Chain A
Amino acid sequence: MTSQVRWALLALTGFSWLAVGCTTYNTDCTGLVENPEEKIGYLAEDVPLDRAFARHANNALGQLAADAMLHARTSSTQTQETELGVFNGGAIRDEGVCVTRERLPRGELTRGELHEVLLFSNVVTTLDLTGAELLAMFENSVSMLFPEGEVVVPPSGSGRFLQISEGSQLSVDCSLPVGSRVTGLQVGTRDVLLESPDARYRVAISSFLLSGADGYTMLAGLGNDPDRNPRQAIEFGGTDAHLTAEYLSQTYPASSGPEGGLRAEPRIGFANCAAP
């Protein structure tokens, strides 16, 4: 080996050592949030995160997010209280930053864990929807539920299934044809099926759904329609994940314990539907 080659290799080694030795990387295996280890809530029961549970059943975390959207403060010009919050099951993720999370175990929940699971940063908008639009929205929500007897293997696209906020009830019959599966819809004290299709309801929805994605074409563009009085959430960045985290810390704080912790409620009634 000639000297110049030796020296070239030496120089290469030296510079490589310097250069590569200087490389650094981002924080590993931590949620993208300040104070990821902060305990912000208490789960009274395990919360399954698998698709079958997030997209085919009442899910405590999805309901928490819908509640947070329901209670999200909007601009001061708001004249009507929000009546319904909806949160798509596809926004509940089990991938985890470093490990797949099949469930969030009951007990204290950290801010980092919550943001790993609710990882989309969709802006929350509150606007008016008609009863007909609400029905169409929920028909799309339940269109991919499996009838009883089938194995729940949610395909791509089934993330459209909506979790609903407290005070509302939805009944669905999976034996009925797609498009007519909703058998009951109660928003607060108002029965949507009995009221006029033109009656308006104040609903909090994520920007993802308002873009028409996941088949919600009936919502597309409404977020820009002044007639619907769209108002964005103004606290905590106005995004669903951050609103949920703050709502959790206020409603089900880490000090809640098993009795006061978060647990799923039977807000959606399933008839003739496969169970996850």
Chain B
Amino acid sequence: MTPGVATDHPHGKVPSFTFLPTVALRRALASFMVASALWGIPAFGQSQSSLVHTPPESHRAGQRLELEGTLLSGGGMDRLTIRYRSPGGEWSSAPMELAFGDLFRGDIPSSALTGAAVEYYVEGVTPRGERAPVFASAERPARVPLRGGQASAPGPSRAPPAATPSPEPETTSEEEDPWARADAARAAREPERASPEAPPREDRQSAEPSRPEPSEDTWAAAPEREPPAPVPTPSRPRLEPAARPATPFEDELAVYRAEDQAALARIHPSTAVTTLAPTMVFDRAELRRLGVRRVHQALELVPGLTVTRTVEGDWQVAIRGLRQDAEVLFLRDGVPLNNAWNGASLVDLPIENLERIEVTLGPGAAAFGGPAVLGVVHLHSREDAGARVMLGAGMPTAWDAHANAAGTFGPVSVRADVDVVRQRGDSNEVDADGISELTEAQGLRRVGEPVGYTRDERMLLHGGLRAQLALPGGGALLAGGRVFHEDRSVLLGQFDTAGNFPGQGADGPGIERLGILGDLEWSQPLNATTRLHARAWIQTQKDARNYQLTPSGFRTQIDDPASAFELGVRERLSFATRDLGLSVSGHTVIAEAHTLSVGAQAMHQALTDYAYLGNFDVNGMPITGFAPGRDASGADLVSPLDRSGGVAANRITAALWAEDRWRALDWLEIDLGVRIEAVQLPVPDASGDFSGTKITPSVNPRLGVAVKATDELLVRAQWARAFRAPTMAELAFELPVRNIGFGRGRFMGNPGLQPATVDTVTVGAELLQNAGFARVRVGGQAFYTNMSGAITAVDQTGSDTPWTNRTAVRSVGAEGWARVEWSDRSRVFVHGGAARAEDLDTLPGFRQLTNIAQAQVTAGATFPVGPWLNLDLNARILAERRNTARSELELLRRYLIPGYGLVNAQLRTEPILDHFEVVLLGQNVMDTQVYDDVPRPDGFAGLLPREGFQAFLMLRGWL
């Protein structure tokens, strides 16, 4: 990779802030438009390392050296460490942090840059603690001469890797050396940066000493300025020497060029386990810049993802035009969050205590099974040393408190986090519902009155604790636990009835969730190239839902007073699940650019408690208290726990997986993976029940190829097959016969459901350019997903409808992004996705699944407002949504949700006294009225109102 794009500039001039005229960017944008997609794809670096990184040709002694690099996906590294020393001295370490998207950054502190040179290499660490050099090595470190340093410790001369020649420039005075002048400019503008005593800052951009922020005037004036003269450098003979004294602006440019010289960085980070699929990463600094408070809000900004709410208030993530809870795997620190009953996860978790969020589109790595079909969302808890707290308050009434801390005590490292969230939430009017006419006719509301209001009250307690014991020989033993408890209102009602009626007290509609996660992890190196890893985990969840389907006093038979329900028609659904899992894996480096991982997994999932109760009988008349309903034969509904011996309430999954990652050539990497899985599934009998279980095997291969077309362009293709088993609910959920004239049309279990097979093909490219002082990343990928036997709910009868296997559902589209970053405080991005999903089981002309927005675009900008404030803006646009038309009923229940745009704005201070940060966040600042689609089994085609303008004031502090 050519260091410093400015050297490639055809005019030999340093680009101005108006970067578009650069050929590089025009090329990038042209590629972006043609590809109509954006995504991150790794570049290839030097042939013997996994980090794309170019050492600086020289560096100013006593000045912090910032390094950036792109981790090529091999090896499953998710942490990088810089190992540095004066030549011949002892090695010291400094972490590299995962920055925005897929960028790793780290610093060699100024205190280490006092000799004639500094040597360093970069080491990668996998989640299992495996360490391996990814750039240079201890034996062959990169060496950077230090200008103005003392040649007291020259050490042996070692050449850096062949691909990164590092000619020794002459040491010059600042007047003669533009790099020295740039350094001087940097030092003059940010004395704290030059000072080794500069206090540490809290997050990534603040973890490093503050970058010299151009003043507001500088940014504003930049485009209008004449492009400054280029800065000469002995190593860049194509550039002309400066013809006149440098202006402050030119000094600024020099600073950034020097940083560019340090690295042109772009990474495509792997997830916690090796993955072939592209992964979008939001680190904690980026999460804060995005102005999000919850995980689902961050997910909304991922190209290809849209997030909607159900009438119950749950959040659902749609990926590439398809939306199924049970097809998106959610992990917290490696432990699955999806419950075994219906595959749903608690998506509404706070982000404050997260280190990062990784989103993989498609099935992901072979180590992932279960719901990893459409995508994988991995939440990583924060674990860096120190203590942090955040207090926030907002409107509509909301209170947040979050804290996390981590420390090391001898061989034991401990981290903990806790979230407390209380919100009254937004409330919106609901004009009508499926029983509007009945409630009006019965005098339960006046004509024209709204039938109800959405309620979004919530109380969340959430915390985790994790301890790690370092074992002799480089091993580690980890134990962790996590608990969450959520108590909240039902947003609208169970299906299409506004069931939130006041005056119900504690017995009113609501949802209560309790989850406990625990894991025990062990890893140990066998030798220098092989490491073993084992993990056992448990996950239990309890979910209790209390629904009110009608107002108090409602009569199911309008003329029969005996049919009046004093407290309304009600239902209660509760279930509890438990997952027990065990995995073992081994990872070995076959050759320097060839790694092999193999593993085995076993999991037992169980439904441990279940109840579906109603306060009505089969004739729709009220009963005392709650009781199980009856099935079509008149018998009491049998719980899945007891039905056919509970065969649908227990499931064993066993899997073997392997992934081989091989850089065959300098420009070619091949990834092969396979997951062989056996799932215990119930067998249907002729009566529509279960006769036993059988083991259903599946072989799920994955193949990935990456080709470095040029130094700046990488092309990658993947194919992955995944296995999607029906959930317990999809097999065994039963609804009682209930003659209440409404409330039918819900979806129920189908014992005859078969697993689905999902194939995903992705082809993409990314172009990376330095445009002078700016880093530009433009990329895109196209995808094709085909789900054979897709498990889908299609209302065809207006009655209780079973989930069914469709012949095939497919989705075609593209995603991508473009990003320009000038500094940590200044960047813009645009990314989005478009998907066309179709259900092939219906007639041509009716196949499109349009209830998910087919296109979404997000654009954002961060820029400084004076030296102390930052303004973060992001705007999201979603295309129009309409009802699907897979059945006559869906066709008939027409709705149209117009496309809309949402704007979030955030004012964020720079660190105050190095320990505080204040944030004022406005979400949906234009108070745009937004709706979500909802299932309308009763044929009522109204829509679900979503949150309006919300504002939050947050104070963050750290030690």
Contact = CB atoms under 8 A, between A and B. Distances in A.
A27 B884 CA distance: 10
Nearest to A12: B859
A266 interface: no
A85 B798 CA distance: 20
B879 A115 contact: no
A14 interface: yes
B796 A121 contact: yes
Contacts of B882: 25-26
Nearest to B882: A25
Contact of B888 (A24, A25, A120): A120
Interface of A is mostly: loop
A4 B221 CA distance: 12
A154 to B, nearest CB: 11
10 contacts: A4-B822, A5-B861, A8-B830, A11-B859, A15-B857, A24-B836, A26-B845, A119-B889, A120-B796, A121-B887
A7 B438 contact: no
How many of chain A's residues touch chain B, expressed as a range?
A: 35 or more
Interface in B875-889: 875, 877, 879-880, 882, 884-885, 887-889
Contact of B892 (A5, A95, A220): A95
Contacts of A27: 845-846, 885
Q: Across chains A and B, which 10 residue pairs bring their CB atoms closest together, nearest first?
A: A221-B633, A119-B888, A157-B741, A19-B855, A3-B223, A12-B859, A220-B632, A27-B845, A8-B828, A156-B741
Interface of B: 17-20, 29, 33, 36, 219-220, 222-223, 435, 437-438, 441, 557-558, 618-619, 631-634, 687-688, 737, 739, 741-742, 744, 796-800, 818, 820, 822, 826-830, 832-834, 836, 842-843, 845-848, 850, 854-857, 859-861, 863, 875, 877, 879-880, 882, 884-885, 887-889, 891-892, 894, 899, 939
Nearest to A6: B223
Contacts of B847: 26
B439 to A, nearest CB: 11
A23 interface: yes
Contacts of B687: 224
B165 to A, nearest CB: 34
Contacts of A19: 36, 832-834, 854-857, 879
Contacts of B888: 31-32, 115-116, 119-121, 241
A14 B857 CA distance: 10
A212 B892 contact: no
B830 A122 contact: no
B848 A11 contact: no
B859 A23 contact: no
Nearest to A19: B855
B863 A217 contact: no
A93 B892 CA distance: 10
Most buried by A among B557, B796, B798, B885: B798
A157 B739 contact: yes
Nearest to A206: B797
B842 A22 contact: no
A172 B664 CA distance: 84
A7 B695 CA distance: 56
B799 A155 contact: no
Given A23-B854, A208-B799, A32 B618 contact: no
A208 B797 contact: yes
Contacts of A217: 618-619, 634, 737, 739
Contacts of B17: 3-4
A194 interface: no
B567 to A, nearest CB: 21
Interface string A19-40: 1101111110011111000000
B224 to A, nearest CB: 9
Interface in A205-238: 207-208, 210-215, 217, 220-221, 224
A208 B798 contact: yes
Given A12-B857, A25-B882, A95 B939 contact: yes
Interface of A: 2-5, 7-9, 11-12, 14-16, 18-20, 22-27, 30-34, 93, 95-98, 115-116, 119-122, 155-157, 207-208, 210-215, 217, 220-221, 224, 241
A98 to B, nearest CB: 7
B821 to A, nearest CB: 10
Nearest to A240: B797
Nearest to B829: A8
B742 A156 contact: yes
Given A8-B861, A121-B888, A15 B832 contact: yes
A15 B863 CA distance: 22
A160 B558 CA distance: 15
Contacts of B863: 2, 4-5
B18 to A, nearest CB: 5
B797 A207 contact: yes
Given A8-B861, A12-B859, A220-B737, A155 B438 contact: yes
Most buried by B among A20, A26, A27: A26
Contacts of A155: 438, 441, 558, 741
Contacts of A11: 29, 818, 828, 830, 859
A31 B891 contact: yes
Contacts of A31: 888, 891
A8 B863 CA distance: 12
Given A2-B223, A213-B799, 20 more contacts: A2-B863, A3-B17, A8-B829, A8-B860, A11-B818, A12-B859, A16-B832, A19-B36, A19-B856, A19-B879, A24-B848, A30-B845, A32-B888, A97-B892, A157-B741, A208-B797, A212-B632, A217-B739, A220-B631, A220-B737
A220 B633 contact: yes
A4 to B, nearest CB: 5
Contacts of B441: 155
A85 B438 CA distance: 31
Contact of A22 (B688, B820, B854, B861): B854
A121 B797 contact: yes
A61 B437 CA distance: 26
A207 to B, nearest CB: 7
B144 to A, nearest CB: 31
Nearest to A90: B798
Contact of A25 (B33, B830, B848, B891): B848
B887 A32 contact: yes
Most buried by A among B29, B222, B799: B799
A241 B887 CA distance: 12
B634 A221 contact: yes
Given A14-B33, A19-B856, A26 B846 contact: yes
Given A20-B855, A26-B885, A2 B219 contact: yes
A156 B843 CA distance: 31
Contacts of A120: 796-798, 888-889
A24 B893 CA distance: 19
Contacts of B33: 14, 18
Nearest to A93: B892
Nearest to B689: A224
Contact of B435 (A9, A12, A119, A156): A156
B941 to A, nearest CB: 9
B797 A224 contact: no
Given A31-B891, A97-B891, A116-B892, A224 B830 contact: no
B219 to A, nearest CB: 5
Contacts of A121: 796-797, 887-888
Nearest to B20: A7
Most buried by A among B33, B797, B818, B843: B797
Contacts of A210: 632
A33 B850 contact: no
B843 A33 contact: yes
A39 to B, nearest CB: 19
Contacts of A215: 619, 739
Most buried by A among B846, B857, B879, B889: B857
A11 B861 CA distance: 12
Nearest to A11: B830
A4 B435 contact: no
